[in-house]
Amino acid sequence: MKPAQNLASSIQTSASDIADRAFAEINKKTKPRGSLGTLENLAVQIAQITGTLSPVLSKKRICVFAASHGVVAEKVSAYPPEVTAQMLQNFLVGGAAINVLARHFGIDLHVIDVGVDPVSEKLCTTSNFYPRRVSAGTKNFVTDSAMTSEECTQAMRAGAEQVQIAAAGHIDLLGIGEMGIGNTTSASALVAALLDLPPKEVVGLGTGIDSETLNRKIDVVTRALAKHGPGVLQPAAQYWLQAVGGFEIAAMTGFILEAGKTRMAVAVDGFIATAAAAAAFQIDPSCRRVCFFSHQSAEAAHARVLAALEVAPILNLGMRLGEGTGAALAMPILEAAAKILAEMATFDSARVSDQIRDWV
């Protein structure tokens, strides 16, 4: 058996090799070089993740993680906290936007409660519902840590579990989304801390708050960073998840980390999911390779965070709903990129003159 360091090196070499081969294969296709733009880059990344030049992304699943947030006590949202539980019910009866898009695109949907308060016992009978409740929502992170170390770990494990379930079910492509009134405040505090960004640059309108609430939200994030900043422990990402995160954000972080280990492609949704990705990237940078950022949210800070992470979104549709809706829209594009690599003819196989390569 190879030593761990040599094994890691061989995996990296293999990933680099498959990328080179995929790029060369794309350039043999019956089209001018580069004429499919971003689709070609996506195809190369998919080949790296799957380890094949004939990738298949037909079996798709989105996991929506839901949790309540104690910081709503600071009046940072346009909606009351009970909307989280009400929307969770909506997901499970098929009435939400993510349900519509998942049905339209043939995407399987899992809904995971990692800390919603309150929750109806009736939900437990729904086959795609996973009750993994850590607690009845996080604490108000202005006055206390949002969660304990044990709670953070438990939420992260709930996310990792969904990747393991998907792997066992031979799912090809995963997506993540969330629901939690107050979670844009949590995500704003998290990315401000992790990426060293001023609160004014990362706090946005969320559910559509007015200017007075926006100023209060900025103040809440500023106070939280001042409170928790002096005691930062390593790893810093997990510390900040525990200090200002949400159970659903921690779950998505664990999800991305596990997907990185198992080499499963993940479509990351909007601002909240990107905050989870920022935490995951700091904990284990190698998980970056499996992530596709589905869209640039209309949430003001999302473009800034994507730039700080040096990643490019697939779509920009002015959306800011969450729920995994952006991931659902990006998944067919990722599947199309895989099919271009796997199914499109080459100049040789189609007996087409390769002079087309020079077309502009």
7 pLDDT more than 50: no
Percentage of residues in the chain having pLDDT higher than 70? 92
Average pLDDT, the chain: 92
Indicate the range of 23-27, 137-141, 258-262, 345-349 predicted with least confidence. 345-349
Number of Cβ atoms within 10 Å of the Cβ of 24: 11
Domain count, the chain: 2
Tell me the pLDDT tens digit for each residue of 24-60: 999 999 999 999 999 999 999 999 999 999 999 999 9
**Are residue 77 and residue 185 in the same domain, yes or no?**
yes
pLDDT of residue 122: 66
**Are residue 179 and residue 192 in the same domain, yes or no?**
yes
State the CATH number of the domain containing residue 255: 3.40.50.10210
| Residues 6 or more apart in contact with residue 75 via CB below 8 angstroms | 213, 216
**Are residue 313 and residue 334 in the same domain, yes or no?**
yes
pLDDT of residue 303: 95
331 pLDDT more than 80: yes
Domain span at 13: 4-53+340-358
> Rounded mean pLDDT of 124-148?
94
Tell me the pLDDT tens digit for each residue of 183-215: 999 999 999 999 999 999 999 888 788 899 899
> Rounded mean pLDDT of 79-86?
95
pLDDT of residue 207: 74
**Are residue 329 and residue 352 in the same domain, yes or no?**
no
121 pLDDT more than 80: no
Using omega within 30 degrees of 0 as the cis cutoff, is the peptide bond preceding 55 cis? no
The active-site residue, picked from 310, 323, 335, 343, is 323
**Are residue 44 and residue 165 in the same domain, yes or no?**
no
Q: Token digits for 315?
A: 């779509």
**Are residue 8 and residue 72 in the same domain, yes or no?**
no
> Rounded mean pLDDT of 13-22?
82
**Are residue 206 and residue 187 in the same domain, yes or no?**
yes
**Are residue 272 and residue 241 in the same domain, yes or no?**
yes
Give the span between the Cα atoms of 66 and 251, in whole angstroms: 9
**Are residue 9 and residue 71 in the same domain, yes or no?**
no
- Global confidence as pTM: 0.93
pLDDT of residue 8: 38
**Are residue 141 and residue 11 in the same domain, yes or no?**
no
Active-site residue, 25 included: no
234 pLDDT more than 90: no
State the CATH number of the domain containing residue 19: 1.10.1610
Tell me the pLDDT tens digit for each residue of 245-282: 999 999 999 999 999 999 999 999 999 999 999 999 99
**Are residue 46 and residue 82 in the same domain, yes or no?**
no
**Are residue 67 and residue 43 in the same domain, yes or no?**
no
| Residues 6 or more apart in contact with residue 28 via CB below 8 angstroms | 346, 347, 348
Q: Token digits for 87?
A: 């929307």
Q: Token digits for 30?
A: 């019956």
173 pLDDT more than 60: yes
